[in-house]
């Protein structure tokens, strides 16, 4: 009889051990006992058995397997392990078990990188695989916004030779097409990755952190599973924040999640808030045929440079949206299918109410404060540039943290967190993080605003170029908006760019690269830009630091 000892990695509970034990016992002549606590499988055989076959059987179930030693015959002769990799050739994460709470972009970026480093990963998800972006955020909202763009172009195009006609909108059909694409992307970018990667396991349930290496997962059937991990990553995202307005919680208000899948268009949509979600969805519903009133406690996009909010508000009101700025929402009453929203500017009535006052981190009920994880005033997890929480072996990324709430930030943070969890050293630099609001015109920013630069003690020189100076905008018959460059006084070094323009999101990355490479306005002005593109506006704005572009011919270098 031969006795084999196999180290098994990636087990997350006693059920995993039972699964592996059953698998090994199905091999001819094998009798196995698997211990979850010891992460070991003891296999005795009555005859010759291919060791590789045992290891492959375990690995086929999605676990790591490594032969430690063998006792042969009477148990006295020790045979060296076969196929054991020398430590110098092993991946840094070999043998590690990484538990990730959440399954959005940050979670998946971390999972993929951790597995690449040799770790076994368990994703713990209480809801739908894929998180906010693909399911109820970026993807469905951009599809809706694009559809609304086509409806608007048909109804209010700028070209005299093409008749404008109100678009005939079938909202239910649009939603069906939108959700089909959402499902396709969820399967392709999330479910198929899990299916094809034996190093990633998914556990359905709600997770609570008992200590920095132990999680309690409440399963959908009410059972609790204790999960042990070498590293824990929190990537739970955020949810719509609901303000404490009297009567609001008792009413059938919409969040963005509800609005995106609504199969009927409101006659009059009232929006509480002036956030990114508010302006994007507000304009989309407006263009699809609804009346829209926005109630803004301050101004439109009040966290941005004031000129941005003013330009966007002008564009939205120009299309027919009513915007009540510096207006307090005092109460909400819903009766007979009508919302009566009492504000400091009077009562606003509508058949639908969208609450778009920002998002709150999903950090409640996880036991974070009990184990020492620090939260800020929004209850967001405080992390450093290595995505560490301050509690050993616990990391966090994405919208549940104090990092900016953008999916690409979450994904970049997830990758770097995985590098750090598996023995590497990676940081996340957000100094040239681009941001885009997908209204029309779009809003795009990168680097420092003028006010932010002054707070850092940097003297600035700025120029603002209106789009009636940009040939592409003139050719489009759409000169709404501007491009603004913030530069360091004296040196001319680029510090930041803000733009309100058609396709502003496409030009902002060029600005980000220029800032990253510490270019000056003169160096940017001297670059070759293709004529009749919106990004040429960057060059023209840079040129205004030295000359009057109104006095230049087309393509003037």
Q: List, by residue number, the catalytic residues.
A: 11, 13, 16, 63, 133, 138, 554-555
Tokens 């290496």 correspond to what residue?
Answer: 213
Sign of CA dihedral 455, 458, 464, 470: negative
- d(CA 376, CA 146) in angstroms, rounded, equals 36
Q: Is the dihedral of CA 254, 256, 261, 267 positive or negative?
A: positive
What's the DSSP call for residue 250? T
461 alpha carbon, distance to own chain's centre: 34
Contact between 288 and 169 under an 8 Å Cβ cutoff? The reply is yes
CB-CB contact of 294 with 321 (8 Å): yes
Q: Exposed, middle or buried: residue 80 (CB in 10 Å: 0-12, 13-18, 19+)?
A: exposed
Cβ atoms of 108 and 190 closer than 8 Å: yes
Number of H helices, E strands in the chain: 16, 27
DSSP 333-398: EEETTEEEEEETTEEEEESEEEE-S-EEES-TTS-TGGGT--B-TTSPBP--TT-B-SSTTEEE-G
Cis omega (within 30 of 0) on the bond before 441? Answer: yes
């Amino acid at each position: 009889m031969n006795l084999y000892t196999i180290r098994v990695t990636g087990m997350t509970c006693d059920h995993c051990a039972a699964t592996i034990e059953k698998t090994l016992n199905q091999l001819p002549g094998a009798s196995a006992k698997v211990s979850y606590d010891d992460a070991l499988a003891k296999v005795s055989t009555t005859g010759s058995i291919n060791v590789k076959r045992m290891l492959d059987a375990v690995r086929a179930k999605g676990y790591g397997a490594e032969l430690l030693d063998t006792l042969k015959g009477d148990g006295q002769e020790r045979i060296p392990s076969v196929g054991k990799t020398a430590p110098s050739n092993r991946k840094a994460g070999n043998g590690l078990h990484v538990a990730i709470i959440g399954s959005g972009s940050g979670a998946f970026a971390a999972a993929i990188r951790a597995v690449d480093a040799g770790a076994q990963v368990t994703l713990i998800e209480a809801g739908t695989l894929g998180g906010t972006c693909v399911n109820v955020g970026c993807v469905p909202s951009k599809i809706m916004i694009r559809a609304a763009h086509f409806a608007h172009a048909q109804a209010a195009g700028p070209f005299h030779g093409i008749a404008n006609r109100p678009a005939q909108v079938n909202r239910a059909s649009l939603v069906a097409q939108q959700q089909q694409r959402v499902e396709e992307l969820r399967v392709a970018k999330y479910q198929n990755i899990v299916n094809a990667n034996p190093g990633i396991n998914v556990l359905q349930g709600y997770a609570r952190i008992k200590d920095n290496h132990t999680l309690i997962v409440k399963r959908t059937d009410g059972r609790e599973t204790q999960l042990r991990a070498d590293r824990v990553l929190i990537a739970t995202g955020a949810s719509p924040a609901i303000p404490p307005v009297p009567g609001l919680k008792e009413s059938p208000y919409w969040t963005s999640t509800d609005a995106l899948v609504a199969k009927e268009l409101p006659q009059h949509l009232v929006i509480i808030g002036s956030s990114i979600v508010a302006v994007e969805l507000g304009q989309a519903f407006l263009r699809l045929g609804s009346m829209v009133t926005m109630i803004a406690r301050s101004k439109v996009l009040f966290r941005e440079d004031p000129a941005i909010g003013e330009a966007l508000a002008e564009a939205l009101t120009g299309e027919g949206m009513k915007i009540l700025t510096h207006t307090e929402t005092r109460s909400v009453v819903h009766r007979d299918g009508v919302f009566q929203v009492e504000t400091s500017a009077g009562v606003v009535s509508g058949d639908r109410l969208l609450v778009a006052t920002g998002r709150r981190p999903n950090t409640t009920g996880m036991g974070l404060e009990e184990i020492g994880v620090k939260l800020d005033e929004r209850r967001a997890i405080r992390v450093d540039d290595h995505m560490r929480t301050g509690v050993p072996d616990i990391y966090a990324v994405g919208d549940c943290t104090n990092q900016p709430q953008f999916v690409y930030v979450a994904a970049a943070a997830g990758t770097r967190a995985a590098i750090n969890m598996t023995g590497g050293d990676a940081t996340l630099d957000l100094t040239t993080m681009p941001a885009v609001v997908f209204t029309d015109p779009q809003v795009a920013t990168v680097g420092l605003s003028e006010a932010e630069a002054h707070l850092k003690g940097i003297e600035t020189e700025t120029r603002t170029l209106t789009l009636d100076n940009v040939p592409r905008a003139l050719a489009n018959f759409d000169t709404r908006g501007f491009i603004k460059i913030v530069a360091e006084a004296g040196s001319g070094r680029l510090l930041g760019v803000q733009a309100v323009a058609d396709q502003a999101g496409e030009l902002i990355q060029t600005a980000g690269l220029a800032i990253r490479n510490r270019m000056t306005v003169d160096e940017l002005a001297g670059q070759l830009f293709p004529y009749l593109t919106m990004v040429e506006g960057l060059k023209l704005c840079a040129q205004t630091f030295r000359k009057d572009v109104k006095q230049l011919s087309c393509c003037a270098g």
